[in-house]
Amino acid sequence: MRFNAGQYDIAVIGAGHAGCEAALAGARLGFKTIVFAINLDTIANLPCNPNIGGTAKGHLVREIDALGGEIGKAADATFVQSRMLNKGKGPAVYSLRVQTDKRRYQEYMKRVLEEQSNLDIKQAEVVEILTDNGKVTGVVTHTGAVYNANAVIIATGTFLRGKIIVGDVSYEGGPDGLFAATKLSGSLSKIGVSLRRFKTGTPPRVNANSIDHSKLELQKGDDEIIPFSFETTQLGENKEVCYITYTNENTHRVIRENLHRSPLFGGQIKGIGPRYCPSIEDKVVRFADKDRHQVFVEPMGEGTNERYIQGMSSSLPEDVQIQMIRTMAGFENAHIMRTAYAIEYDCIPTSQLKYSLEFKNISGLYGAGQFNGTSGYEEAAAQGLIAGINAARALCGKPPVVLSRSEAYIGVLIDDIITKDITEPYRMLTSRAEHRLLLRQDNADIRLTPLGYEIGLISEQRYQRFCEMKQTIEKEIARLNAKTVPPTPLVNNFLQKHSSTCINTGIKLSELLRRPEITYISLAEIDDEFPNIEKSIAYQVEITVKYEGYIKRQQRRAQSEQRLDSMRIPSGIDYLSINGIRTEARQKLDKAKPDTIGQASRIAGVSPADISVLLVYLKRNKTASD
């Protein structure tokens, strides 16, 4: 029997990384919000790798923080090892990554949700979404409780009709031994939401006491700890270490001999898996020429001996997993505490969504995270934040926040899943961002804090501190551009010391800094006015000066693309009737219904020639209407 359980502005289904950010954003913007979780003990669960950040993902975390999200603060508060990746490459791809304490991370985020005003938390399975005339009106739980809501955000992760697969064994289930959400998919289909089936997997967990660490390569954290969040002032410390080992020919032999028992190759797994995080059996088959694959041994936290075996994701039978794990150096006597598994789940083709992450045909219904066909905690959190912001803004009549590809990795992520034909779980990569030098992880605050402040998620205190930082950077760059140093013995000795060409005329400090061998900090040796500024600010100054030419070039390109994104397409256009556009492109445009020419140009299957015809059509019809 159903009963009325209350009235809310926003209801969030799921309390994983997307759901947490969505719920916090809605509540912090002043709207009465409720978030549902199948089990409250697994709020913000880390069912796969116990880390936050990494290549491209660290960029997302920094951007979420700059907009007022929580994931960066949670990672800073609970990490056990911190490393900056890709330091041997250019600054555009530097990415912060931390190993987190899985339980402390969950406890931290659960407490944040519990203490947030305007936010209620409820343990319940949502089984139905209520609509009226194409608009969301609420949700129903498995106990018959009806929660009326003006907006609903679906952030169900891998729970929708979740199916766990280990060899020839399969059963309904969610990640980490939780129950699956079995009924909501049917409700979604009834209200016109198209679903599809994706798959992901996770490696085994091994007891550290059964590993011979002397046979493994030690991987320590960085000496200098750099936080994710602009607001983190109390830095933690590295408390745990990681290790590296490798598969070998014996490992591959065990896998090859048991491929006939693999559900991945036997056809039992129907869902499409992630290309950039394949199972070990998939890697052995696809890369048959490789005699070994790297495997990372990562701590799950300070209070446990469980170790996550990164790189050994598998759906092979349990007895085969034991055999292959024990072929690796250091794992001869390994005890598997949690068996690796694959999980199939329902998600959506994201062509159904607007750039705001609202469904095109159901007002007030939003999607975020793995429900949208993406993979990764960071990708999920980014979408959850944007969905929460836009649900709140829609309720007070404000336009949605839509980030461009040149503004943020979040903009690249959402643009990709909306315009491209996503046929597998989407993962953020630095190669997907054509403006990488503009979208560095170190300048996320400069790029997005003003927007976060305008939205209402950045406090006045933080914004003023940000303005002071930005002013310091600009002032110091102006000083470097203005100050000339003469060709004195001191200066030339300095240049010789750093293997740089001596000078015979005066030179600006900024010109010296553009030399690859000269660092900003080293200029203190010849600069009697060298300021005492924070390391993070000094780094911003150095990158801005050194890469000025490249940055300006990318800015010009971005401005050109932004012109296309500023060209609005009137609603109601009948693309199918436009002569000159190829049939495939007409169908794609009609389905996507882009808001701008820029969006239309990025739709898979729409060529530059099609866009030219569309521009002519729009110009002709504008003239006719005028």
Choose the final residue of a domain: 422, 454, 486.
Answer: 454
Element (H, E) at 245: strand 242-246
Instruction: Please indicate, yes or no, whether residues 501 and 390 belong to a single structural domain of this protein.
Output: no
CB 527 within 8 A of CB 483: yes
Instruction: Tell me how far apart the alpha carbons of residues 407 and 399 are, in angstroms, rounded to a whole number.
Output: 18
- Which helix (H) or strand (E) is 320 found in, with range? helix 318-325
Full residue range of the structural domain in which residue 611 is found: 567-625
Task: Report the relative pairing of strands 119-123 and 33-37 from DSSP bridges.
Answer: parallel
Q: What's the half-sphere exposure (Cβ side, CA atoms, 13 Å) at 358?
A: 23
Identity of residue 535: K
Within 8 A by CB and 6+ apart from 298, the residues are 49, 50, 51, 99, 242, 307, 308, 309, 310
Residue labelled with tokens 């310091």:
472
- Residue type at 26? G
Question: Do β-strands 95-100 and 336-338 pair in parallel, antiparallel, or remain unpaired?
Answer: unpaired
**Residue 482 shares a structural domain with residue 508:** yes
pTM: 0.93
Residues 504 and 361 occupy one common structural domain: no
Are 125 and 141 in contact by the 8 Å Cβ rule? The answer is: yes
Judge contact between 302 and 80, C-beta under 8 A: yes
Indicate whether 46 and 149 sit together in one domain: yes
Residue 576 lies in a domain: yes
Query: What Cα–Cα distance (Å) separates residue 422 from each residue in 4, 352, 402?
Result: 39, 12, 20
Looking at the 3D structure of the chain, how many domains does it have?
A: 3
With respect to residue 560, please indicate whether it lies within any of the assigned structural domains.
Answer: no
H/E element, 109: helix 102-115
Q: Name 33's bridge partners.
A: 10, 119
Separation of alpha carbons 420 and 373, rounded Å: 12
**Structure tokens belonging to residue 307:** 């170790």
390 & 491 share domain: no
Mean pLDDT per 10-residue section of the chain, whose length is 626 residues? 95 98 98 97 94 96 98 98 91 93 97 98 98 97 98 97 94 93 97 96 96 97 95 93 97 95 76 75 91 96 96 95 97 98 95 96 97 97 98 97 96 94 90 92 96 98 96 96 95 95 95 95 94 92 92 87 86 88 89 88 88 88 57
Cβ proximity of 55 and 417 under 8 Å:
no
Q: In sequence order, which residues have a C-beta less than 8 Å from that of residue 462 and are 6 or more positions away?
A: 230, 231, 449, 453
Residues 395 and 474 occupy one common structural domain: no
Tell me whether residue 443 is in a domain.
yes
Compute the distance between CA of residue 84 and CA of residue 86 in angstroms, rounded to an integer: 7
> Residue 617 belongs to a domain with what CATH number?
1.10.150.570
Q: Directed axis angle between helix 71-78 and helix 102-115, to 10°?
A: 130
Domain annotation covers residue 374 = yes
Q: What number of other Cβ atoms are within 10 A of residue 146's Cβ? A: 17
* Residue 213: per-residue pLDDT: 97
User: Sign of torsion, CA 606 608 609 613?
Assistant: positive
Residue found under tokens 């990746």? 85
Q: What is the CATH number of the domain that holds 407?
A: 3.50.50.60
Residues 404 and 431 in one domain: yes
Strand 3-13 to strand 33-37: parallel, antiparallel, or no bridges (unpaired)? parallel
- Give dist(CA 610, CA 606) in Å, integer: 6
Q: Are residues 545 and 511 in the same domain?
A: yes
Coil, helix or strand for 83?
strand
CB 532: neighbour CB atoms within 10 A? 6
- Give the separation between CA 201 and CA 345, rounded to whole angstroms: 11
What is the per-residue pLDDT for 87?
A: 86
149 inside domain? yes
In a domain, 81, yes or no: yes
Q: Which two tokens stand for residue 13?
A: 């289904």
User: H helices then E strands: how many in the chain?
Assistant: 20, 22
Query: What separation in angstroms does the CA of 278 have from each of 29, 95, 199, 490?
Result: 39, 22, 11, 56
What is d(CA 312, CA 123) in angstroms, rounded to the nearest whole number?
33
Residue 312's Cβ-count burial label (10 Å; 0-12, 13-18, 19+) is buried
* Residue reference for tokens 């309390």: 15
Packing angle of the helix pair 377-395, 57-66 (nearest 10 deg): 30
Q: Which residue has the tokens 């501190």?
A: 465
> Whats the size of the chain, residue-wise?
626
Asked if 584 and 524 sit in the same domain, the reply is no
Calpha distance 173→441 (Å, rounded): 36
Residue 210 is encoded by which pair of tokens? 């059964």
Are 481 and 619 contained in the same domain? no
Amino acid in the structure at residue 518: I
Q: Are 260 and 61 in contact (CB under 8 A)?
A: no
The answer to whether residues 444 and 466 belong to one domain is no
Q: How far apart are CA 67 and CA 345, in angstroms?
A: 30
Contacts of 137 (CB under 8 A, 6+ apart): 130, 131, 148, 149
11: tokens are: 């209801």
> 224 in a domain, yes or no?
no
Q: Last residue of some domain: 430, 454, 478?
A: 454
Among the candidates 413, 435, 454, a domain finishes at 454
Is 274 inside a domain boundary?
no
Report the distance separating Cα 423 and Cα 440, nearest Å: 28
182: DSSP letter: -
Alpha helices, H only, 170-300: 184-190, 249-257, 263-266, 280-286
Residues 93, 158 within the same domain: yes
CATH of the domain at 522: 1.10.10.1800
Measure the CA–CA gap between 129 and 14, rounded to whole angstroms.
Answer: 13
Cα gap 143→352, rounded to integer Å: 30
